[in-house]
Amino acid sequence: MKDSIIRGIKFIGLGFLEPLIRLINKEEPKKNTKEVMRKIVAPIASVFIFIGLWQLGSSSLYNKEAAYKIEAATRNQGEEAAAKLKACMESGDSNCQPNTLPSPAQVYAAYQVLLEDHKQISADKKAFAEKTFEMNKKRVAQGKRAITYTGRPSFVDQIKTSLKTVFAGFLLALFIAVPIGIVLGLSKTLRGSINWIIQIFKPVSPVVWLLLVFMIVKTLTKNSDSDSSFIISFISVGLCSMWATLVNTAMGVSSVNTDYINVAKVLRLRPLQKIFKVILPASLPLIFTGLRITLSVAWMVLIAIELLAQSPGLGSFVWEEFQNGAMDSNSKIIVAMFVIGFIGFALDRIMLFIQNLVSFEKETI
């Protein structure tokens, strides 16, 4: 029972809980207490220290900004206005708060606002769907287009859009980079002749990729009404992120252990058999390392690309909040930052999980 639980949590990447489970089962208490301290208590403590430092930093920035505002008011509008402003700030009225790094509490509040907002919007959507259900049925029967909800997307909707974009971009990178990487890995001549393209395009900034893709897609989608901003952003994400997989696949395929290659030769495996039974399995660990880098790069550049391509998603959310300049905009941006971070982390874990599922070598980091 206990062992199977431990195996289970290790499998899904939560191996750090192992000493806690062993401790609960009264197994080697001394050693496991130490392990719990090291693997669970210390990381949690570091989170609190981080929040504490953040609180200190934000309050000192707040004070600086407030002092500056009051001073400016004194200079421009006189003592009375300054006193009023100060009273307003102390009352906590959101209209006169200084605009600076938000504190953890403000960020948490913004998070709840966003959740409320999401509930509100999904309720609206549901109501809208119910209301238009009958009418849409008729419209479809008449061959007209159904009426869809066109209201503002909620924060959660933005996350979903972003995930969709990053997933499409990742798949594009996978289907371009892995086959090309295998071919490059197998042929020294090709590797040598294409190397310059890889070396030149690898360091190109996401922004430039976006512009390049924009130039091409704009022309290609001239006469169709498809969602070109989505197409542009996912293709850019794919192109930016595929290089790590391409390079790693080529390297993995070209550096397969000579013992395995000798076996393939001695058994006289046919070329396809050799690729699928020997070379690919042997280079899977490196291919997956590449895919993991690709996914994290894809998620990282996604924000910048959405921001520029005007395609909906977390990137445009962040940008709109920044432009918006409302009182809790800064807090919402920080919420988005954490959400981006957590999703990036989760995506990497999922990749690790898949890697352990298909690869003969187990990796733990």
Partner 1 sequence: MAILELRNIYKTYNPTKEDKGEILDNINLSIEEGEFVAIVGFSGSGKTTLVNLINGLLKPTEGEVIFKGKPVEDTSHERGVIFQNYSLLPWLTVYQNIDMAIQEAFPKASKQEKDVRVKEHVEMVGLTHALNKYPKELSGGMRQRVSVARALSMNPEMIIMDEPLGALDALTRGNLQDEILKIWEVNKRTALLITNDVDEAMYMADRIIPLKPGPNATLGPEFKINIERPRNKTALNDNEEYKKTRLEIIEYLMDLGEQQAAKSTSSYELPDLQPKDFRWDAN
Considering the complex, state which of residue 89 and residue 280 has its C-beta at the smaller distance from partner 1: 280
Backbone angles phi, psi at 154, to 5 degrees: -85, 175
Closest CB 282 distance from partner 1, rounded Å: 8
Our finding on whether 281 is near partner 1 (CB under 8 A) is yes
Q: How far is CA 327 from the centre of its chain?
A: 26
Rounded Cα gap, residues 298 and 305, in angstroms: 10
Q: Minimum distance from CB of 266 to partner 1 (Å)?
A: 5
Select from 56, 215, 267, 354 the one that contacts partner 1 (CB under 8 A).
Answer: 267
Q: Is residue 273 at the binding interface for partner 1, with CB under 8 A as the rule?
A: yes
Asked if 145 is part of the footprint of partner 1 (rule: CB under 8 A), the reply reads: no
Task: Give alpha helix (H) positions in 142-187.
Answer: 155-186
Residue 260 is a binding residue for partner 1 (CB under 8 A): yes
CB of 218 to partner 1, least distance (A): 46
Stretch of 15-23, 219-227, 261-269, 322-330 contacting partner 1, by CB under 8 A: 261-269
To partner 1, the closest distance from the beta carbon of 289 in angstroms equals 17
**Judged by CB under 8 A, does residue 278 bind partner 1?**
yes
Residue for token digits 């050799």?
274
Q: What's the closest the beta carbon of residue 265 comes to partner 1, in angstroms?
A: 5
Count the residues of the shown chain that bind partner 1, applying the rule CB under 8 A: 16
End-to-end CA gap in the chain: 26
Instruction: Rule CB under 8 A: say whether 357 interacts with partner 1.
Output: no
Let me know: does 73 contact 79? Beta carbons within 8 Å: no
User: What's the min distance (Å) between Cβ of 180 and partner 1?
Assistant: 23
- Given candidates 156, 183, 263, 300, which one binds partner 1 under the rule CB under 8 A? 263
**C-alpha distances in angstroms, 87 versus 75, 217, 289?**
17, 55, 56
Nearer to partner 1, 187 or 359 (CB): 359
Contact between residue 285 and residue 357 where contact means Cβ atoms under 8 Å apart: no
- The answer to whether the beta carbons of residues 178 and 249 sit under 8 Å apart is yes
DSSP string computed for 271-298: HHHIIIIIIHHHHHHHHHHHHHHHHHHH
Nearest approach, Cβ of residue 190 and partner 1 (Å): 24
Q: Which of 79, 134, 225, 259 binds partner 1 (CB under 8 A)?
A: 259
Residue 74 burial (10 A CB sphere; 0-12, 13-18, 19+): middle
The DSSP 8-state label assigned to residue 205 in this structure reads: -
- The rounded radius of gyration (Å) of the Cα atoms in the chain is 27
Question: Pattern of binders to partner 1 over 213-252, x per CB under 8 A?
Answer: ----------------------------------------
Instruction: Pick from 1, 44, 266, 365 the residue near partner 1 by CB under 8 A.
Output: 266
Region for 99 from its dihedrals, namely left if φ exceeds 0, alpha if ψ lies in -120 to 50, beta otherwise? beta
Options 8-16, 176-184, 207-215, 256-264: segment touching partner 1 (CB under 8 A): 256-264
- Residue ranges in contact with partner 1 by CB under 8 A: 259-260, 262-263, 265-270, 273, 277-278, 281-282, 360
